[in-house]
Structure 1
Amino acid sequence: MVISHNLHHVFEIAARICVLRHGQVAAICNTADYQPHQIVELIMGANHITREVTGGQKYAAN
C-alpha cells in the first residue's frame, strides 16, 4: 500500500487506487480505467468549485 497525493507516481506503480475523501472511501478503481484528472474529480467530489482566472499578470521564471 502507498499513500500519496503524487498522482503521477501512483499511476506508475499502482494497479488499483482507493480514493479517500473526508476520511471515507469515495472510490476504488483500476488504474488502467482512469486518467489522473478523473481521480482528482473523485478526490474533490461533485460539489467542488471551478473558476476561470483571467487578466492576471504574467511573471518570468527565475
Structure 2
Amino acid sequence: MKMAGEDPMSDCSSENEEFHQLDAELDRLNEYMNQVESRNEKKAEKEKEESKEKEAAPSSSEQNEKQ
C-alpha cells in the first residue's frame, strides 16, 4: 500500500528495471536453448550418418565368416 507522499514513479522505475533484467535473462536462456538444440540436432545427424555407414559396411564378424 502506498503512503501519502511516496513517489509513485520510483516504484514504477524499479519494477521497470527488474523487468528489463528479467527480459535480458530470458534472452540469454533462449539463446542457450537454441545452442543446445542446434548441438543436439547436429549430434543426431552425425549418429544417423554413422548408423547408415555401419549398415552399409559389413561388420568385422561378417567379414570373418566369409574368410
Higher helix share: 2
Which structure shows the bigger proportion of residues in strand conformation? 1
**TM-score if structure 1 supplies the norm length?**
0.17
Larger radius of gyration: 2
